[in-house]
Structure 1
Amino acid sequence: MKHALLIAAACLLALLSTIGASLSYPILPPLFAAGAENGLNQFLGLPPKLLFGVALMVNPLGLLIGSAVLGSMSDRYGRRPVLLATGLGAALGHAATALAMLAESYPLFIVARFATGLLEGNGAVARAMLAERLDGPLRLRALGWLNGAFHLGWLAGPLLGGVTVGFGVTVPFWIAAVAMLCVALLVACVLPRDAGQPGADSWWQVARERHALNLVRHPELRKLFVLHLAMMCGVTAFYEFYPLWLVEIAHYDAQSIAAANVGLCGVMTVAAVMAGRSAETAPMRRAGCHALALACAVGLLGVGQLWIGLAGIVLFGIPNAFYSATVQHWAAGRFGAHGQGAVMGLLSTTFCVANILMALAGSVLTLADTRLILVLGAALAAWSGWNWLAWGKQALPPTSGMAPAPTE
């Protein structure tokens, strides 16, 4: 019963957090690319697509910093206080975003998006909490359910945003602020108190000296970082630019983008729940196969045909969900001696680095053709898949001080 309550609380926390973060998802592409001039897409006379790329980049830049330090800080100070503080801060960030849109202030919008991303880098903390308190098949299932909750939030959030934007462009952001306040209330009422690790280090010392990227000093973790980064470049190229692809190919508005997202996230949520089942195939081999399948799905958008691309959008969710559950469970078992918060933080940080890289690349490539960034993402995911398979064949032994690779 104790484990069931912990898993349920973590999943509800993930659901509310992702709804808050993703409400704005179908709103930004039409705001910058639909042709109507406003203070946000006419800043300093720069091209709207370039402004859109920067707006995409700053939120993951905040996520990058937050993911790199929040997981390690939760190892030091405890999961509960870190989740509580970030939930309250993210609520303020969404409120500031709404005010920036009312004022049509692009600089304030960018600052608010950055601050919100910084505080929403707490997904690693929730994953670390489950990885730390659970083990074996239960941990695999729990991480699958947690990922399913995140994916369900990506379904419900954009759908709710597409519906509520008709009442005003800032309404979704006020709803996001309320959702994050609910997250903070949930943390305060449900999550158990934890003491963290003893020590006299200040929070600044912890952030500076124990951030997740320190783990790349270890050879195996460095290899994990490189392969996961390439895979996440494929994932983030898809996430960031398939809405723009829909605007250009089919002239979709915010509501239509939200509807397409329903199919994607619905499939991904079901797949994430199924991904929690044990499998006999070696984890690295499974990760490689899922990465190759995802590359094929993203590559379908490069064809430029609407219905083929829509098939790729929906199918994308299956390999993405299975890859995430496989790699998180494997990394928790193999590298847990370094601290679950730091390990899960490294995976989340890698995703954020990929977001930034693809946003920068896309802001340039989309000036020529939006399909170019999608094809690049597919190629990087395919490279990752082949190298995951090669790594699995090598069957590297775990390094000193690390737990042995889990058998499933």
Structure 2
Amino acid sequence: MAMQNYKPGKAAFLFIFITVALDMIALGVMIPVLPKLIVSFEGGDYGSASRIVGYFGIAWAFMQFIFQPVLGSLSDRFGRRPVVLLSNIGLGLDYVVMALAPTLGWLFLGRLISGAASASFSTASAYIADITPADKRAARFGMLGGAFGLGFVLGPAIGGYLGQIDLRLPFWAAAGLSLINACYGFFVLPESLAPENRTKRVVWKTAHVIGSLRFLGREPALALLSAAIFLSYLAHDSLPSIFVLYTSFRYHWDARTTGEVLALVGLAQTIVAAGLVRQSVKKFGELPTAMFGLACGVAGFIAYALAPTGTVFIAALPLVALWGLAGPAFQALATRLAGVSEQGTVQGAIASLRGISGMIGPIAYTQILSWEIAGGRNPGGSYGLAALLLALSLVFTLAVGRANIAARDAA
């Protein structure tokens, strides 16, 4: 393929930033409408739809769990660019399947395909590690988080608006965005991994899920960091799993309101990721930044669980947004614990943790919400559980610092 350019720089980062932003807009377009489409298949039964949304989440996560380590190792062998391009093409075709889905079974098949094809996020992180010095990676990961936030500003707002017209229209929009992204990447996205830094062959012992988990456990600091990241992922699964159903049931928000609030969430995340991560890491370091972000997340989820009105719920958004400080700091710490030719492997392995959490979180959160709705109870238990998980993540993050100190003392 053309556009072979291995020089790090702002232009290469801009290319991957735009690629991720377009991916996230496509994903965000569907968020306000996918649960509502499932509700329509279930004849308006929110309790039944809550359980099915959980199964959809598990299916997507299972495919991530299986395929992300493989794709990470493939990107270490063949480069980041072909993995990103094939991912975009696969997602575009998948959204067409979901747009045309005549039954719940076809919609479920679409989620399976999207889980297998969604490789560009972890590969994008490896791309950033390729082109950025170690001491600047947290800031770049923060900017990449800004691309995620930008996608969630525009995507849900577009999806909410289109969903008011037709619940299937956002899927067509997502398909168009993904295929446009593939064309963009083909013509302008440069490769980031030079041939001399690639593995000589696919390292299959770390390309499958068991091998990738062993890779993460090869030293104490990386194992503890992986545990902290996993718990943070597990807490995060509460947001896509029940946000729409929770706010629709408790605060009676329609698709447009949900889309607007999700856009507000994305805007807050963008401000944190693009505007605060670099300054925080520069002044306080990666580990303290991660710990502060986790503490804000704990407070935010407690507020979500207890908020009696939609206004109070919205008022807690800044706290959950500040939790976004932790993600880039985590990613920067992980890249320091992997070699130049292992960045795709470590990102794929970490993505497999997201797959594991995705198989546990959606079913847990949706079943809790379904149980609360069926019993006439006040919902909020799912977000209380998310707060507890982030508190445990904070404990493991503190242990990472102690492990690093012990390793330095031993050296």
The answer, yes or no, to whether TM exceeds 0.5 is yes
Residue 27, structure 1, aligned to residue 58, structure 2: no
For 2:226 and 2:69, how far apart are their aligned partners in 1? 13
For 1:248 and 1:365, how far apart are their aligned partners in 2? 14
Call closer, same or farther: CA 1:26–1:315 in 2, change over 3 Å. Answer: same
User: What is the 5 A alignment of 1:41-190?
Assistant: 41=42, 47-100=48-101, 103=102, 105-190=103-188
The equivalent position to 2:321 in structure 1, one of 313, 317, 330, is 317
Alignment correspondent of 2:215? 215
Determine if contact 2:242/2:366 at 8 Å carries over to the other structure: no
How far apart are residue 83 of structure 1 and its match?
1.1
Determine if contact 1:237/1:373 at 8 Å carries over to the other structure: yes
How far apart are residue 212 of structure 1 and its match?
3.4
For 1:244 and 1:76, how far apart are their aligned partners in 2? 42
The equivalent position to 1:365 in structure 2, one of 361, 364, 368, is 368
Instruction: Name the stretch that deviates more: 23-32 or 252-261.
Output: 23-32
Residue 348, structure 1, aligned to residue 351, structure 2: yes
Call closer, same or farther: CA 1:166–1:382 in 2, change over 3 Å. Answer: same
Call closer, same or farther: CA 1:168–1:283 in 2, change over 3 Å. Answer: same
Determine if contact 2:88/2:178 at 8 Å carries over to the other structure: yes
How far apart are residue 348 of structure 1 and its match?
2.5
RMSD after superposition:
2.6
Residue identity opposite 2:339 in structure 1: G
Helix, strand or coil at the partner of 1:335: coil
Alignment correspondent of 1:230? 231
Call closer, same or farther: CA 1:386–1:138 in 2, change over 3 Å. Answer: closer
> Which blocks of at least 5 consecutive residues in structure 2 are unaligned?
1-6, 373-378
For 2:215 and 2:112, how far apart are their aligned partners in 1? 25
Alignment correspondent of 2:242? 241
Call closer, same or farther: CA 1:209–1:393 in 2, change over 3 Å. Answer: closer
CA-to-aligned-CA distance 1:18-67 (integer Å, 9 cap, x gap): 1111211011333345xxxx4x3269xx9222112212322233333333
Residue 387, structure 1, aligned to residue 389, structure 2: no
CA-to-aligned-CA distance 1:187-211 (integer Å, 9 cap, x gap): 211222454735455x988743896
Instruction: Name the stretch that deviates more: 274-283 or 255-264.
Output: 274-283
Residue 308, structure 1, aligned to residue 312, structure 2: yes
CA-to-aligned-CA distance 1:108-140 (integer Å, 9 cap, x gap): 111111111211132111111110121044433
For 2:52 and 2:136, how far apart are their aligned partners in 1? 44
Determine if contact 1:128/1:344 at 8 Å carries over to the other structure: yes
Residue identity opposite 2:153 in structure 1: L
Alignment correspondent of 2:375? none
Residue identity opposite 2:313 in structure 1: G
Helix, strand or coil at the partner of 1:279: helix
Determine if contact 1:131/1:139 at 8 Å carries over to the other structure: yes
The equivalent position to 1:276 in structure 2, one of 267, 275, 278, is 278
> Which blocks of at least 5 consecutive residues in structure 1 are unaligned?
none
TM-score (norm 2): 0.87
Residue identity opposite 1:12 in structure 2: I
Call closer, same or farther: CA 1:346–1:181 in 2, change over 3 Å. Answer: same
Determine if contact 1:86/1:120 at 8 Å carries over to the other structure: yes
For 2:164 and 2:296, how far apart are their aligned partners in 1? 37
Alignment correspondent of 1:297? 300
Call closer, same or farther: CA 1:330–1:261 in 2, change over 3 Å. Answer: same
For 1:243 and 1:261, how far apart are their aligned partners in 2? 9
For 1:205 and 1:138, how far apart are their aligned partners in 2? 30
